[in-house]
C-alpha cells in the first residue's frame, strides 16, 4: 500500500503570506495526486487533481506541482478563508484502493 506523508503537520502563517504544503509518497504515483481543503464541519472540497490542475471554481492563488513521489500545494497569498486542513490523496489501480495523507492544518499566526 502506498503511504502519503504530509508535512508539516501544522503551519502557522498570516494572511498575505505564501503557504507551501508538502506530500510525499512511499513509491511513485506518477501524477495521480489530488489535494482537498476541509473546513470545520464541512465536507472536503477538491482543489487540485492530476497534481497540478485546478478544479472548477478554485482561485488561481492555489497551485499544485510535482510528480513521482514529491508533491507541493502552494497558496500564493493567504486569504482569511484559506485557513483549514489540507489533504493529499492518491489512488492505486490494482488492487483498487485510495489513500489520503494525514493532513496539514493551516492556522492563523
Partner 1 sequence: EVQLVETGGGLIQPGGSLRLSCAASGFTVSSNYMSWVRQAPGKGLEWVSVIYSGGSTYYADSVKGRFTISRDNSKNTLYLQMNSLRAEDTAVYYCARDAPWFDPWGQGTLVTVSS
Q: Residue 52 interacts with partner 1 (CB under 8 A)? A: no
C-beta of 68 vs 103, nearer to partner 1: 103
For the stretch 18-57, what's the b/e string if a residue is b when 16 or more beta carbons lie within 10 angstroms of its beta carbon? ebebbbbbeeebebbbbbbbeeeeeebeebbbebbebeee
96 binding partner 1? (CB under 8 A): yes
71 binds partner 1 (CB under 8 A): no
- Under the criterion CB under 8 A, does residue 65 sit at the interface with partner 1? no
Q: How far is CA 73 from CA 4, 8, 46, 63, 83, in A?
A: 14, 12, 12, 6, 14
Interface residue with partner 1 among 62, 71, 83, 87 (CB under 8 A) is 87
Decide: is 45 part of the binding site for partner 1 (CB under 8 A): yes
Provide Rg for the chain, Cα atoms: 13
Q: Does 68 bind partner 1 (CB under 8 A)?
A: no
Is residue 3 part of the contact set for partner 1 (CB under 8 A)? no
Q: Are 17 and 77 in contact (CB under 8 A)?
A: yes
Interface residue list for partner 1 (CB under 8 A):
32, 34, 36, 38, 42-46, 49, 55, 87, 89, 91, 95-103
Amino acid at each position: 500500500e502506498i503511504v502519503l506523508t504530509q508535512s508539516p503537520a501544522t503551519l502557522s502563517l498570516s494572511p498575505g503570506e505564501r503557504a507551501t504544503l508538502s506530500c510525499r509518497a512511499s513509491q511513485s504515483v506518477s501524477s495521480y495526486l489530488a489535494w482537498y481543503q476541509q473546513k470545520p464541519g464541512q465536507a472536503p472540497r477538491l482543489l487540485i487533481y492530476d497534481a497540478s490542475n485546478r478544479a472548477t471554481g478554485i482561485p488561481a492563488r492555489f497551485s499544485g506541482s510535482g510528480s513521482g513521489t514529491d508533491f507541493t500545494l502552494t497558496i500564493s497569498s493567504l486569504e482569511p478563508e484559506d485557513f483549514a486542513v489540507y489533504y493529499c490523496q492518491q489512488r492505486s489501480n490494482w488492487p483498487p484502493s485510495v489513500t489520503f495523507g494525514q493532513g496539514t492544518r493551516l492556522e492563523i499566526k
